[in-house]
Amino acid sequence: MIAIDTNLLVYAHREDSPWHAGAFRLIRQLAENGRLWAIPWPCIHEFLAVVTNPRIFLAPTPLRLALAQIAAWLEAPSLVLLCESSGYWEELRSLAEAARIHGGLIHDARVAALCRYHGVTELWTADRDFHRFPQLKVRYPLASP
Whether 105 is covered by a domain: the verdict is: yes
3-class state of residue 59 by DSSP: coil
Pairing relationship of beta strands 2-4 and 122-124 according to DSSP bridges: parallel
pLDDT for the residue 102: 86
Identify the burial level of 53 via C-beta atoms within 10 angstroms of its C-beta, where 0-12 means exposed, 13-18 middle and 19 or more buried.
exposed
For 25-50, write each residue's pLDDT tens digit: 999 999 999 999 999 999 999 999 99
Phi-psi category of residue 103: left, alpha or beta, with phi > 0 → left and psi -120 to 50 → alpha: left
For residue 113, the enclosing domain spans 2-139
Q: How far is CA 83 from CA 35, 78, 100, 116, 140, in A?
A: 19, 16, 23, 11, 23
The CATH number of the domain where 133 resides is what? 3.40.50.1010
Whether 110 is covered by a domain: the verdict is: yes
For 57-92, write each residue's pLDDT tens digit: 999 999 999 999 999 999 999 999 999 998 899 989
Q: How far is CA 80 from CA 31, 36, 129, in A?
A: 11, 7, 24
Q: What is the pLDDT confidence band of residue 4, given thresholds at 50, 70 and 90?
A: very high
Whether 145 is covered by a domain: the verdict is: no
- Given a contact cutoff of 8 angstroms between Cβ atoms, the answer to whether 3 and 123 are in contact is yes
For 79, phi and psi rounded to 5 degrees? -80, 135
**CB proximity list for 90: less than 8 A, separation 6 or greater:** none
Whether 144 is covered by a domain: the verdict is: no
pTM check: above 0.85 = yes
How many structural domains does the chain have? 1
